[in-house]
Amino acid sequence: DIRGSTPLAEKMETREFSELIHRFYLAGTKPLYSNGALIEKFVGDGLTAFFAPAFAGNNHALTAIKAGREILRATGYSPGKAPWIPVGIGVNTGVAYIGSMKIEGGHTEITILGDVVNTTARLCSQAKPGEVLVGEAAMQMSGLPKNEHELRKLSLKGKQDIVDAWVVT
């Protein structure tokens, strides 16, 4: 998700803002597709993707983290350099419903649903600009050393328990 998109939109002409969002979508989708992700949807200033093992491989959690890091680089994050757009990313793994939802009248959408999806969205909302915030299950599966990354204990909207998340940049 883009951070601070509302103030950005206020300062820009609609067409200029639309072009910026389009540029962000391009920068975000290239690393996702090249790492085997499937894009679920584009929503305003963000996008949702998932890494099904059949497409992204057995270590889909590490692949998702890698893609998140690549998105940060694609949006200009690098040491001593300001990004051209501020973004934060959430990564988690677990069992989710992936399938079609059909509404009477014919509209059908492919979607992903479940607690893991909701938790990932909350992680994304808590990620600061330039961060990939990784949930417990994804961090465990990735094999990345937890002690080399900042641990945050988060109270996420709608979650009863504190959620552990690691900052990966």
What are the pLDDT digits (tens) for 46-61? Answer: 999 999 998 898 999 9
Task: List beta partners, residue 113.
Answer: 97
CA dist., res. 150 & res. 59, Å (int): 22
At residue 142, what is the residue type? S
Q: Structure tokens of 58?
A: 């057995």
What are φ and ψ of residue 122, in 5° steps? -70, -40
pTM for the whole structure: 0.93
* pLDDT digits 0-9 by tens, 136-152: 999 999 999 999 999 99
Q: Where are the domains of the chain?
A: 5-168
Q: What residues have CB less than 8 Å from 102, skipping those under 6 apart?
A: 108
- In the predicted model, what is the mean pLDDT of residues 63-76? 98
Q: Is 7 helix (H, G, I), strand (E, B) or coil?
A: helix
Domain 5-168: give its CATH superfamily.
Nucleotide cyclase, GGDEF domain (3.30.70.1230)
Q: How confident is the model at residue 29, as a pLDDT? A: 97
